[in-house]
Chains A and B, each alone.
Chain A
Amino acid sequence: MSDGRPGESATHGGTTTFTPSGNSFLGDFWVNFVRWNRKAVRNPFVVVGSLVQPIIFLVLFTQVFGQVATGAIRSGGGAAISYETFLLPAIAMQVSLAAAAGSGIGLVNDMEEGMFEKVLVTPMSRTAVFLGKTAAELLRIVVQIVMILGLGVLLGAEIATGLAGAVGIVLMGIVFSLWYVAFTNIVAVLTQDQESTIIGANLLQFPLLFVSTAFLPLDVLPGWIQTVARFNPVTYGVDGARALMLGEDVMTVLEVTRFGGIWDTLVPAIAVLLALDLVLGGAMVYLLNRASSSSVQ
């Protein structure tokens, strides 16, 4: 604001000498990536808070149910593994869910704070804005899964496939998170209400986890849960992560034998999750576009 006359910087007739450096797509992406990372770090509840529940599950479940559950795992025909080892991949997916819930909550907060509109009125690419935010959230998922895997190993869990398997579990967590990222964003756009989004995004996690293969093998679950579990995305995420953890085919909801070994679990799990990611992601992009378009509704 040092030297007068910003008015001089605009001319008329379609041309302009007012040229704010013309942001690149990558530049816009980066600015938003940095903003959302900064907000995450700033807010200890986001990083640590969303880890508390999974950690409680990991520690208490293994302590309380460990004895009983180990028997269930074995009777289910599983290998001789500890409950810690069985549970850890499920907890990693729980972390992924909890962090993905933050995506829609972040969006609805932005809407309520007016930042959503404020960003829309800037010349930034809207795609870059959204990708920057999502990338920051995925980074958080990676960091948190790494933390929980570290804790699990300390508690006695064993990753049979070693470091490569751990990396695989992290990637599985990303593939698994996307549909829930999309889902919570959809809730945010549709309700445009902070409380509804928080309740919707957080409460759904628990029933989803319990009616899946997360805590016990499929065949020791009651019949109706077995049925629901087949249609529950959590089952596919958990089975995929568990296959990587144990280094063997663990999927029981689908019988696939074509690929051999853990790929009999990984291929169908990833296929199912990617399909779901695409469907929900498409719906989310459509709704976000509508929410940010200037056409009146």
Chain B
Amino acid sequence: MTDDTPRTDGGGAAIEAQGVELTYADGTEAVKGIDLTVPEGEFFGFLGPNGAGKTTTIKTFATLLSPTGGSITVNGFDVYEEPRKIRETIGYMAQETSVDEELTARENIRFAAQAYGVPKRQRADRIDELLDLVDLADVADKEAGEFSGGMKKRLDAATALVHQPPLVFLDEPTTGLDPKARNRLWEYFERINERGTTLFLTTQYLEEADQLCERISVILDGEIVATGSPMELKRRVGGEILDVEIPAGDEARERAAEIAREGDVFDADADVARSEDGITVTAERAREHGTDLLVALRDAGITVTGFNIRAPTLDDVFLAITGEELDSEDRSADAATVTEPEVSAE
């Protein structure tokens, strides 16, 4: 994993975690032995469904929760020994938007600047820069309570960056934002990452992880079940994916699945599954054999209304790894922003 070299020349690890465990007093094992190394300068994604342990993990890294087992070093400091040093050198954006609604945008950032000890002579400039960065300069002196959800999120992000921390934790920063606001935040994150800041992002949006992150770990039930670049993970699914839309009922779909499985169309290790509106086939060279399947289905008298060949997405990765889809509610909310599945040329 060190081949994904960080963009800084430091070469060190921003986060070094071994065997991290966190068990709550009521016996809930939220995190069950996580090993993780995040090199400096990386845009790292922590992906998992609700309740998988993402927030708990990020809170142990940010010194808000003390792990019940394992070791963690953040920016070279030990979480048990030097939590205050860690707090000085990280930015943290909580899942829940955290701004003081009775203060203006400028006052919120100033408070953070003072809290993090940004030297007085730099403060005013830094505040103006950040207001520009998150596009709130024109409402800088309005109270944050009047802001939209997206504006508050951006303000929250600005306060997390005020001391130019080398490492920033972002806990589901775009949850609940509309696509436009989300894209805008993504731009800011990419910008600060390009400047060398290590970003640790948790998300349940596969598209977000795919687009932003250099490397991803998938967490499920408190354990990391896969780690790699988005490309690597997608390659792990193998082959191409064929979605066939069949309007007729369950029976026709079941028959179609049988034809895809038993007919001589695909390689033996092809994976055929029922989807919401038809069947999905994952197989090597699905592209070449797709038309054969269509012919076979027509011969069997099954009407096909849609047909799509695509490369695997992180959705498929997630499904393959965990056997479950990410929270379906969130997925449908997300659907508007998901770009059409690519039918890429080879």
A positions within 8 Å CB-CB of B = 1-2, 4-16, 18, 20-23, 27-28, 31, 35, 38-39, 42-43, 113-115, 117-124, 293-297
Residues in A whose Cβ lies below 8 Å from that of B6: 7
Q: B87–A113 contact, CB under 8 A?
A: no
Q: Within B28-83, which residues are at the interface with A (CB < 8 Å)?
A: 40-41, 62-66, 68, 75-77, 82-83
Residues in A whose Cβ lies below 8 Å from that of B107: 38
B positions within 8 Å CB-CB of A = 6, 8, 10, 12, 22-25, 40-41, 62-66, 68, 75-77, 82-85, 87-90, 92, 94, 96-103, 107, 111-112, 114-119, 125-126, 129-130, 133, 143, 159, 161, 163-167, 192, 195-198
Q: A20–B117 contact, CB under 8 A?
A: yes
Q: B89–A122 contact, CB under 8 A?
A: no
Question: For the complex, what is the distance from the CA of A121 to the CA of B90, rounded to whole Å?
Answer: 9
Residues in B whose Cβ lies below 8 Å from that of A16: 75-77, 85, 88-89
B214 to chain A, nearest CB (A): 14
Q: A7–B64 contact, CB under 8 A?
A: no
Q: Closest 4 CB pairs between A and B?
A: A114-B98, A20-B117, A12-B76, A7-B196
Q: B102–A39 contact, CB under 8 A?
A: yes
Residues in A whose Cβ lies below 8 Å from that of B103: 35, 38-39, 42
Question: For the complex, what is the distance from the CA of A297 to the CA of B101, rounded to whole Å?
Answer: 29
Q: B119–A21 contact, CB under 8 A?
A: yes
Residues in A whose Cβ lies below 8 Å from that of B84: 123
B66 to chain A, nearest CB (A): 4
Residues in A whose Cβ lies below 8 Å from that of B116: 20, 122-123
A75 to chain B, nearest CB (A): 49
Q: Can you list 15 A-B contacts (CB < 8 A)? A: A4-B195, A6-B164, A6-B166, A10-B166, A12-B10, A12-B75, A14-B82, A18-B75, A20-B118, A39-B103, A114-B99, A117-B94, A123-B87, A296-B23, A296-B66
Q: B115–A14 contact, CB under 8 A?
A: no
Q: A113–B98 contact, CB under 8 A?
A: yes
Q: A1–B114 contact, CB under 8 A?
A: no
- New contact pairs (17) apart from A1-B126, A12-B10, A12-B75, CB-CB < 8 Å: A1-B130, A1-B164, A1-B192, A6-B166, A7-B10, A20-B163, A31-B114, A38-B102, A38-B107, A39-B103, A118-B92, A118-B98, A123-B88, A123-B116, A123-B117, A296-B25, A297-B24
Residues in B whose Cβ lies below 8 Å from that of A2: 125, 129
Count chain B CB atoms within 10 A of each CB in A2, A5, A11 and give the residue with the most. A5
B106 to chain A, nearest CB (A): 12
B258 to chain A, nearest CB (A): 51
Q: A7–B197 contact, CB under 8 A?
A: yes
Residues in A whose Cβ lies below 8 Å from that of B165: 6
Question: For the complex, what is the distance from the CA of A4 to the CA of B77, rounded to whole Å?
Answer: 23
Q: B196–A115 contact, CB under 8 A?
A: no
